[in-house]
Amino acid sequence: MAHDIVPPQVYAKVFGILLGLTLLTVGVAFLDLGPLNAIIALTIAVGKATLVLLIFMHVRYSSHLIWVFVGAGVFWVGMLLVLTMSDYLTRGWLPVTGW
């Protein structure tokens, strides 16, 4: 099985980008943007996770079968988040009696 050889400069650039995004996350944490703080922080976190997945875990250069499994994992995490949030957001709909 042939593997693509990634030059060390790519790793160094991605590492620099990850450090920059981490500093951006820390900077945004000190700003008071209301509910946008969580959205911006999660967006930056998803970007960092995508870079790690594609470059450091070599998914970018992998076969289509690996992409299918990565997609299935992302879909599964999405389902878990949607179901968890649907439970959390609907807890106040029914009044609690008998307490």
45-75 tens-digit pLDDT: 999 999 999 999 989 989 999 999 999 999 9
Global confidence as pTM: 0.76
pLDDT, position 90: 85
- 31 lies in some domain: yes
In angstroms, rounded to a whole number, what is the distance separating the alpha carbons of residues 61 and 44? 23
pLDDT, position 67: 94
- 1 lies in some domain: no
| Residue 74 vs residue 90, higher pLDDT | 74
Residues 6+ apart with CB under 8 A from 63: none
pLDDT in tens, 3-49: 778 889 999 999 999 999 999 999 999 999 998 998 999 999 999 99
- 2 lies in some domain: no
The residue range of the domain holding 60 is: 8-89
- 94 lies in some domain: no
What total of structural domains would you count in the chain? 1
Q: Which amino acid is at 53?
A: L
pLDDT, position 66: 93
